A and B are shown apart, each in its own frame.
Chain A
Amino acid sequence: MKLIQYISTHFIPRFWNAGASDNQGQILFNYRRFWFFSIGLRSLVSLLPMVILLMFTYTLENKAIKTENHLQLIRFTSNMRRTITYFFEEHLDALRFTVQEEEIATLKNHEALSYVFKSLQRGFGGFLDLGLINDSGLQINYVGPFDLRNKNYSDQTWFKETTNKGFYLSDVFLGYRNTPHMIMAVKKEVPDGSFYVLRVTIDIKELDSTLSALDLREKSDAFLINHDGLIQTPSKFHGELLKKTTLPIPEYAAHSQITEAVDANGSHVLIGYAFIEKSPYILLLVKQSQAIMQGWYSIRKQINWVFCISVVVTLMIVLSVSTFMINKIYDADQTRLKAMDRLESSGKLISVGRLAVGVAHEINNPLAVIGENAGLIEDIINYKDKYRDDQQLKELIAAVLESVTRCGEITKQLLEFARRFEPTIQPLDVNKVITSALSLLRKEASYRNITVSVDVPGDFPLVHSDHGSLQQILINLFNNAFQAMQDGGRLEMIVAKINDTHVSFAIKDNGCGISREDQKKIFEPFFTTKGVKGGTGLGLSITYRLVQKLGGEISVYSMVGEGTTFTVTLPIMQKDA
């Protein structure tokens, strides 16, 4: 409940619930539109830079992470190429060393070749067999699991190429051994002009273990292909051994390169590749783009969260600031409207009052003439015997004199209304003032069976004010209440201390009430609802003026048929005091 209350006070502006009763305010200023405009503009101004910054961060971070990944992959690829190159060089050098160091005659000896084979096996591993072939292509000595002695290789490509280039590195193939392997061969020329070729078969596992040693993440793949795209060492994701890879074959480049491609599954991959020199191999390092960006995605998630929270907080602040501002404007407008209303009514009072006073003055003199002449007639009737018994004459003149008196009362009230009012401020016991004001009405109250209750708190302070004025105010309001009530009505007087500076006097009756229309006019002079029965319509005007003079305010709350409450607010201390 408290939360709802908090939200409604901080985020929903006051004008929202003011409704149609404050039409005047709505005309002065379209609060709703201004509120929306304020929220819109503030939100835009505060959120736009955040959004731009977010997008900027996204782009930069994306680029940075991509660049870093490219560099890392290039580095990996280069290192790997060096390792692979070294692997081939190392094995070739071992063969070269063997044919350099050992006499051909020794190599022709089967036992000696076996010894060499074992040494090589011990030193490097992965050798499957070893054979010596003479320049006519005939394998003259062989160590290995098969009986390949005297096999003629003269028409085979590898033999021809070894003869031409002095060494040979083959693709991986199954051969009749049915295991993936490769051939390495070196040529040794002898002084008599003929030459021999030393040939070994190397198990592909050796090469594969070298590649596997690379610390690759899941979903990453490192393998060799030949220039035709056939897979040379086992690949995890991109095709079977000795089959064509699903990835595109990269263009030749002297250094390690990066390229992007789409694999067989349709995922984007980043490929680092390098052509291994003096070999038919291409090294491929394949990483899933998604895996690469994984880190970035988790960072982005965090950024998104922070952004969302910021947006919510910003919007809440914008909303509450806008509401606060519009409330201030609304309150100021309402105060201004009230002040304008008050000014208008007091202006009206002054001008109507002036007119009334002028009229009163003009009427008083002829009224006095009428009064004195009629008075004289009355005197003549009373003092001289001639008319003493003429009852009709007596009644007639009495009627004239009564009317003169009534007119005189009215004009005197008008003059009273206009009279400059100099209050004498003194500390007043409110109880006493109320009692004396009520004393004038006690009789009427008991006669009409009206209940009067007065509620003054025990610790009520002395109010610094003018005794006569306060009494007059109370008498006027009591009178009003009495006139509004039927016999047997109920009048309540509630006195309260509002704060340290002001007190309020509420006079509540259960009379006929005042319509909304009339409530606007009741403080105007000569406004009366008492009709023919009388009443000058000055009572509340005078009350209004007196309250103002005492630095207070008067307000009315009324429901037709239920009753009326007049509330007078007065300062406890007068400003001048």
Chain B
Amino acid sequence: MKLLLVDDEEKFVSRLAERLAFRGYDADWATTCDDALAKAKSGQHDIAVLDIKMPAVSGFDLKKKLAEIVPGMKFIFVTGHGSEQDYDSGCKEAVCCIIKPFQIEMLIEKIREASAVSK
């Protein structure tokens, strides 16, 4: 199972990927939309963890594009900024929406849930 993490905050997303690696998850990360799409083209990713509020392209738009490239991909939104609407629609369009800061165990739990759904 491979993860794709997208967040404009590199110091956040890179560390998260590293930590997940410690726990046995193979995670790619990207800080821009293009980078994310490029990495997704390999088609190896099962689950994407997206920040909702990013410069240029929002998490929702990115989700649509990724869904086109990789059908059946599962999504988890994270947000520190999200307005109420963002949170609500995040919850609707993805497996769940997590508010930053969160503990890594919580994310892993959600990832497990998402992969269980996919199987």
Contact = CB atoms under 8 A, between A and B. Distances in A.
Interface of A: 361-365, 367-373, 375-376, 379, 383, 404-405, 407-408, 412, 415, 418-420
A419 B104 contact: no
B81 A361 contact: yes
A365 B84 contact: no
B80 interface: yes
Contacts, number: 68
Contacts of A361: 80-82
Contact of A372 (B15, B79, B81, B99): B15
Contact of A364 (B11, B84, B88, B100): B100
A405 B9 contact: no
A138 B22 CA distance: 181
Given A365-B81, A379-B22, A420-B84, A408 B15 contact: no
Contacts of A383: 22
B80 A365 contact: yes
A359 to B, nearest CB: 12
B23 to A, nearest CB: 8
Interface residues on B, range: 20 to 34
B99 to A, nearest CB: 6
A361 B82 CA distance: 7
Given A404-B101, A407-B101, A419-B87, A368 B80 contact: yes
Which residue among A361, A368, A369 has the maximum number of chain B CB atoms within 10 Å of its CB?
A368
A12 B101 CA distance: 63
Nearest to A407: B101
A92 to B, nearest CB: 131
A368 B11 CA distance: 10
28 contacts: A361-B81, A361-B82, A364-B99, A364-B101, A365-B12, A365-B100, A367-B100, A367-B101, A368-B80, A369-B12, A370-B101, A371-B101, A371-B103, A372-B101, A373-B11, A375-B19, A376-B18, A379-B19, A379-B22, A383-B22, A404-B101, A405-B101, A405-B103, A407-B101, A408-B100, A408-B102, A415-B99, A420-B84
B80 to A, nearest CB: 3
Given A361-B80, A373-B11, A419-B87, A368 B19 contact: no
Contact of B19 (A367, A372, A407): A372
B83 to A, nearest CB: 8
Contacts of A376: 15, 18-19
Given A364-B101, A404-B101, A419-B87, A372 B80 contact: no
B67 interface: no
Contacts of B87: 415, 419
B16 interface: yes
Interface string B1-19: 0000000010110011011
Given A372-B12, A420-B84, 15 more contacts: A361-B82, A364-B79, A365-B9, A368-B80, A368-B102, A372-B101, A375-B15, A375-B19, A376-B15, A404-B101, A408-B101, A412-B99, A415-B87, A415-B99, A420-B88
B19 to A, nearest CB: 5
A371 B16 CA distance: 10
Contacts of B82: 361
Nearest to A380: B22
Contacts of A373: 11, 15
Contacts of B9: 365, 368-369
Contacts of B104: 375
A368 B84 contact: no
A107 B90 CA distance: 158
A368 B53 CA distance: 14
A419 B84 contact: yes
A185 to B, nearest CB: 137
A419 B99 CA distance: 13
Contacts of B16: 372
A408 B98 CA distance: 12
Nearest to B104: A375
Contacts of B88: 420
B17 to A, nearest CB: 10
Nearest to A415: B99
Nearest to A416: B99
